[in-house]
Amino acid sequence: MSLIPADNALAVIAALFVVAALGFAAEKTRWGKTLTGAVWTILGAILLSNLNVIPKASPAYDFVFSYLVAILIPLFLFQANLRRIFMETSRMALAFLIASLGTVLGAILAYYVVNLGPESAKLAGIFTATYIGGSVNYAGAIETLGYTNASMISAATAVDNLASALFLAMLAVLPAWRWLASRFVQMDHSEAITEDASIESGTITSASLAWSISVALVIVALGTWIADTLNMPSMKYLVITALTIIPATFMPKLMDRLKGAFEVGTVLAFVFFGAIAAGADIGQLIAVAPMLLVFVLILLSVHSIVTFGLGSLFKLSLPELIIASNAAVLGATTAPALAAAQGWRGLVTPGVLVGVLGYAIGTFLGVGVAGLLG
C-alpha cells in the first residue's frame, strides 16, 4: 500500500505533475544542471514509488499512457513543415538523413551484439526513434510498440540521457580536432542564411494555448478513429503523426499561430517519464543499466562512423554533419544552440528544421526497425 492510494487517480496525477515540475526546477540549479530535467523526473518518481509514497500501478498511469502521450505528439509536430525543411535546407537535410541512416544501422548492429531479452527488437526500435529527433519520439515509439517493462524503460531513459550528454560534449569539441576538420570540405557558416528561429517564435497567449491544445485533441480524436476504423489500433500514433504533418506542411502560416504547443508538449513528456518510472523496481533497474549502456555505445559509435564517413564522401562540411548529428541524437532544441555557440549562424535555422524532421520520421523508422528485427 502506498501513501497515495492507487485508486485516487486525481492525487496520483497531481503527484506526477509535481515531480515533473521539480524536474524542471532541478536542472536549473547549480547542483542539478549536470543532469537533464527528464532524468531528475525519472529519479524522483522511482524514489517515491519505491518508498511507497506513490503507487507502482494505478489507473492514473493508464490515463497518461492512453491520452497524454497521444496529445504530446501533435504538440511537438505543429512546426513540421516538410517542404520548408527540404527546400531551404537541402544540404542539412541530406546530412540529417545520413545521420538517421547511421542510427538505424547502429541499432541493428547493437541488437545482434547485446542481448536485452525477449523484446530486444522493440528496444532497438525505441532507441532508433529517440536517436532520430531526440526524446520527442520516445513516448510514441514505446506506446506504438506496446513495450511495458517499466524498469527497463526507466533504465533506458537514464542511460539515454547520460549518453546524450556525453555525445553532445564530444560533438562540441570535434571542431578543434584539426586532423579531422582537414578531412572535410571547408565552408563558411558564420553568416545567417535566414532569420534565426527557434521551435516557437512570437508571444504565447491564453488564446494560442487554447487553440494549440484544441487542435491537438482534434487530431488525436480523428487519428484514433481512423486507426480503429481500419482495425489497426496500435498504429494510431503513426496516423496522428501523419495527420499533424499534413497541415504543418501545406498550411504553415495557420499552424504557426499555435504558440506554446512545444512547451505544453514538453510538460506532458515529463509527466509521461514520471508515470513510466513509477513502475520501476530499483534492483532490476541497476541490473539492466550496464547492458543498455553497451547497447547505446555501439549504436552511437556506428551512428558517428556512418555520419562523418558517408558525409565526407558527399562533400558535406564538418559543421553541417555535427549539427545534423546533434539534431538526430538530441533533437531540435540543442542543435541550434550548439550552432550558435560555435559561431555557425548559417546553421541555426537549418538545425531547427532538420530536428523537426526527426520528430516527423523518428517514430516511423523506430517502428520499422522493430518490425524488421522482430
**346-360 residue pLDDT tens:** 887 788 788 888 888
Instruction: Kindly state whether residue 3 falls inside one of the protein's structural domains.
Output: no
Instruction: Report the share of the chain in percent with pLDDT over 70.
Output: 94
Considering only residues 347 and 317, tell me which one the structure prediction assigns the higher pLDDT. 317
Instruction: Kindly state whether residue 141 falls inside one of the protein's structural domains.
Output: yes
pLDDT at 5: 95
Q: Which of 54-63, 256-265, 341-350 has the lowest mean pLDDT?
A: 341-350
Q: What is the mean pLDDT of residues 23-35?
A: 84
* Strand partners for 185: 317
User: How many domains does the chain contain in total?
Assistant: 1
Q: Which of 65-74, 89-98, 218-227 has the lowest mean pLDDT?
A: 65-74
Q: What is the mean pLDDT of residues 358-368?
A: 90
Helices 69-77 and 236-250 meet at what angle, rounded to 10? 20
Give the pTM.
Answer: 0.73
CA distances from 372 to 135, 147, 284, 306, 368 (A): 22, 16, 28, 20, 6
Instruction: Kindly state whether residue 149 falls inside one of the protein's structural domains.
Output: yes
Instruction: Kindly state whether residue 209 falls inside one of the protein's structural domains.
Output: yes
Q: What is the mean pLDDT of the chain?
A: 86
Instruction: Kindly state whether residue 151 falls inside one of the protein's structural domains.
Output: yes
CA dihedral sign of residues 7, 11, 15, 20: positive
* Domain that residue 168 falls in: 9-373
The model's confidence at residue 192, banded by pLDDT at 50, 70 and 90, is low
Identify the CA nearest to 283 among candidates 169, 162, 150, 138: 150
Among the residues of the chain, which ranges form H helices?
9-26, 37-50, 59-63, 69-77, 82-88, 90-113, 120-130, 136-145, 150-173, 178-181, 206-229, 236-250, 252-255, 261-278, 282-313, 318-330, 334-341, 348-373
Instruction: Kindly state whether residue 1 falls inside one of the protein's structural domains.
Output: no
Compute the chain's Rg from CA coordinates. 20
